[in-house]
Amino acid sequence: MKRTNGICLSLVVVLALTLAVSPGWARQERQEPARKANVELPAAVVQAVKANVPNAEIATAEVEKEAGINLYDIEFKAGRGEIEVAEDGTVMDVVTVIALKDLPKAAAEAIQTAAPGATIKRLEKSEVRAEISKEGAMGKIVKLAAPKHVYEAELTEGQKRGEIQVAPDGKIVEGPKWSAEEGKEEEEMGEKEEAEEDEEAEEAAEIKAATGVDLKVLPPAVLETFKMAYPKAVIRGTSKETEKGMTYFEVESVDGKMNRDLLYTADGKTVEVEEAIAPGALPAAVLKALDKAYPGHKIIKAEDMLKDGQKLFELQIQVKDKKTGVTIDPDGKIIQ
């Protein structure tokens, strides 16, 4: 957005803050180092990135699931910002690094009031284009009629680091949030990570001794993909199977309280993901279809399954004294 020179000058005076931003300024490490981009991006995501941030080089890429939807968070090199894209190619959010002159006056004044005397190290403009509407455990993507804009400033004050988010009209969206002294925080974080690594290594050794889990069954690409996607998960079992001439590798894991089974090809491509969910978290359409097809049923086990990009629920139910398996989609259509 454009500003006149007079407005820019008055804005600098009002802020009384120092800006240290340049296009090549790289995002500083937060609590943990960013990992190299080796997440496999769907074709729709790749196309969206090319269309919205042309000629940008990816620095990191991570994927997380929200309400059953895979979201790809991609950060670019050379200060080109970030983008968040849903698995179907819908652009959720575009983040760009901006200069002080591009910050609306109301937003600048709000930052100065909330964090007087602080230094702005980086300014970002977030353009939210779509949001996830949740219905129980499920969600759907809703494209906004007009983008929402939020400005985020990274701040320093002495040894403290902080963040604040403000709307264009100056309304505080979040913060300011301050961290402890940087050096002390990094030291404590390093000690914590080292302790966690030692604990995980010890636990892995105990699991192998107790269960006979042999990670050598898994190709390196499979193990790397799994660890990148679920860094804190513990592998409880592995297996190799062949179906219709294709070889697949199964990983049974526990991630906190989450039981998760995954199926990969030898090159690390994820074919299927199954996650245990509470029966009460199933969509209303699924529960209604079950009541109609299996009157008086009881759900013994429920799993959220993503297979070849299709969202399904795999259920184990009991009707009177008989147990049966049911595969059903989010709309209540029984597949088998």
User: H or E stretch including 49?
Assistant: helix 43-52
The hierarchical CATH code for the domain 199-328 is: 3.10.450.360
Please give the C-alpha separations between residue 251 and each of 239, 260, 269, in angstroms, as whole numbers. Answer: 7, 8, 13
pLDDT score, position 243: 84
pLDDT average per 10 residues of sequence, the chain (336 residues):
38 39 34 48 92 88 88 88 94 90 89 87 91 81 92 88 92 85 54 60 51 77 89 88 88 87 90 87 90 90 83 89 90 87
- Rounded to 5 degrees, φ, ψ at 191 are -65, -40
pLDDT score, position 117: 84
Amino acid at 217: V
Residue keyed to tokens 């290594």:
201
pLDDT score, position 186: 55
Give the C-alpha separation, 182 to 29, whole Å: 11
User: Which pTM was predicted?
Assistant: 0.44
- Which of 237, 227, 176 has the alpha carbon at shortest distance from 207? 237
Q: Do residues 73 and 64 lie in contact, with contact meaning Cβ atoms separated by under 8 Å?
A: yes
Count how many residues are written for the chain: 336
What is the b/e burial string over 302-320, where b = at least 16 CB atoms within 10 angstroms of the residue's CB?
bbbbbeeeeebbbbebeee
Distance linking the first and last C-alpha atoms of the chain:
54
pLDDT score, position 24: 35
Please give the C-alpha separations between residue 81 and each of 33, 60, 85, 86, 105, in angstroms, as whole numbers. Answer: 17, 11, 14, 17, 22
pLDDT score, position 166: 92
The hierarchical CATH code for the domain 5-183 is: 3.10.450.360
Q: For residue 244, what are its two tokens? A: 């219709």
pLDDT score, position 212: 58
pLDDT score, position 5: 39
Give the C-alpha separation, 150 to 171, whole Å: 10
Q: Where in the chain is the domain with CATH 3.10.450.360?
A: 5-183, 199-328
Q: Do residues 251 and 273 lie in contact, with contact meaning Cβ atoms separated by under 8 Å?
A: no
